[in-house]
């Protein structure tokens, strides 16, 4: 069985800094593994520990070597990094296209991913991959077990939990309630140095320039500051202040 886990490196939500003029994230902001993706990785490792025939592959798009190394140290067998400047400004559709091209070549029985990322927050890559690859997808997964080759997933819904059974190949999107991700051990960190990480580009995946073109763009994240005029009353008693306020409102026909 091959299990693929999608991971992303994102700006640390607890230390992110924005440029107030441009709205862009400032350089030097610490980068961390996306939280939901670590829950997906932990679920994959737990499945691997229960079987002897599992190959676990961590896959990322963008600069995520530290996150991939962490996944290898946690227990992944190998990693694949899609690194290409032409994909850097892509939206979730571009991301899904690139990942789908890789996954068609790799093949998989189970694909695990975080429900969403803390930087984009669209929550659409998993469903888009399911559409592109024509496989079922289960979102908001908070519990998972395998029974005779069938995956039983509990997904969080508004009024409780829904239990679904899926047969491979399938895509599962993890929430934080699924498990508690482990910290890499010293043994795992040392072993990760000997595990391979393969690099792919858009050309390697056969993506055309049109397929790497984003359809969605972001506008300014900050509203320009506006200067408001006002009147400040100083060294006046309460009665005088009230009279001036009433006169001010009457002049502007507000009362």
Is there a domain that residue 253 lies in? no
3-class secondary-structure state, position 57: strand
The top-scoring range by mean pLDDT among 111-125, 210-224, 227-241 is 111-125
Tell me the two tokens of residue 254.
Answer: 């507000």
H or E element in which residue 145 lies: strand 137-147
Question: Within a domain: residue 163?
Answer: yes
Cβ contact 110:151 at 8 Å: yes
Helical ranges in the chain per DSSP H: 35-49, 65-74, 92-106, 125-133, 186-192, 238-251
Look at residue 139 and tell me whether its pLDDT is greater than 90. yes
- What's the confidence (pLDDT) of residue 240? 84
For residue 160, is it within any domain? yes
CB-CB neighbours of 218 under 10 Å: 10
In a domain, 54, yes or no: yes
Asked if the structure places residue 229 within a domain, the reply is no
pLDDT at 248 (0 to 100): 85
Q: How confident is the model at residue 23 (pLDDT cuts 50, 70, 90)?
A: low
User: Residue 148 burial by CB count (10 A; 0-12/13-18/19+): exposed, middle or buried?
Assistant: exposed
**% of the chain beyond a pLDDT of 90:** 65
| Tally of domains within the chain | 1
The answer to whether residues 166 and 136 touch, using CB atoms and an 8 Å cutoff, is yes
Evaluate whether 3 touches 108 at the Cβ level (below 8 Å). Answer: yes
Q: Does residue 245 sit within a domain?
A: no
60-114: pLDDT as tens digits:
998 899 999 999 999 999 999 999 988 988 889 999 999 999 999 999 999 999 9
How does pLDDT run across 222-245, given as a tens digit for each residue? 666 777 777 777 777 888 888 888
Is pLDDT of 198 > 80? Answer: yes
Q: Which structure tokens are listed for 232?
A: 């400040």
Determine the structural domain holding residue 69 and report its residue range: 2-200
Reported as a pLDDT band with limits 50, 70 and 90, residue 221 is low
Q: The pTM is what? A: 0.83
* CATH number of the domain to which 154 belongs: 3.40.50.620
In a domain, 236, yes or no: no
Residue 125 lies in a domain: yes
Q: What is the pLDDT of residue 121?
A: 86
Mean pLDDT throughout 111-137? 94
Residue 229: CB atoms within 10 A of its CB come to 4
Sheet holding 55-61, edge to edge: 160-166, 150-157, 137-147, 170-174, 110-114, 2-7, 55-61, 78-82, 197-200
The confidence score (pLDDT) of residue 64 equals: 92
Please report the pLDDT score of residue 128 as a whole number: 96
């Amino acid at each position: 069985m091959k299990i693929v886990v999608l991971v992303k490196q994102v700006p640390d939500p607890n230390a992110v800094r924005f440029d107030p003029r441009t709205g862009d994230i400032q350089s030097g902001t610490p980068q961390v593994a996306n939280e939901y993706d670590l829950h997906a990785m932990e679920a994959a490792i737990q499945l691997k520990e229960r079987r002897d025939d599992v190959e676990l592959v961590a896959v990322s798009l963008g600069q995520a070597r530290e996150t991939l190394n962490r996944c290898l140290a946690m227990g992944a067998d190998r990693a694949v990094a899609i690194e290409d400047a032409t994909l850097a400004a892509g939206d979730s559709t571009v991301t899904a296209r690139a990942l789908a091209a890789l996954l068609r070549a790799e093949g998989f029985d189970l694909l695990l991913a975080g429900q969403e990322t803390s930087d984009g927050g669209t929550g659409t890559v998993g469903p888009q991959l399911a559409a592109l690859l024509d496989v079922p997808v289960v979102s908001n997964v908070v519990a998972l077990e395998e029974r005779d080759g069938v995956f039983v997933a509990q997904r969080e819904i508004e009024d409780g939990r829904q239990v679904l059974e899926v047969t491979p190949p399938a895509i599962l999107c993890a929430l934080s309630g699924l498990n508690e991700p482990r910290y890499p051990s010293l043994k795992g960190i040392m072993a990760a140095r000997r595990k391979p990480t393969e690099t792919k580009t858009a050309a390697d995946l056969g993506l055309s320039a049109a397929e790497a073109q984003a359809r969605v763009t972001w506008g300014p994240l900050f509203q320009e500051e506006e200067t408001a005029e006002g009147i400040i009353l100083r060294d006046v008693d309460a009665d005088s202040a009230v009279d001036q306020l009433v006169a001010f409102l009457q002049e502007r026909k507000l009362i």
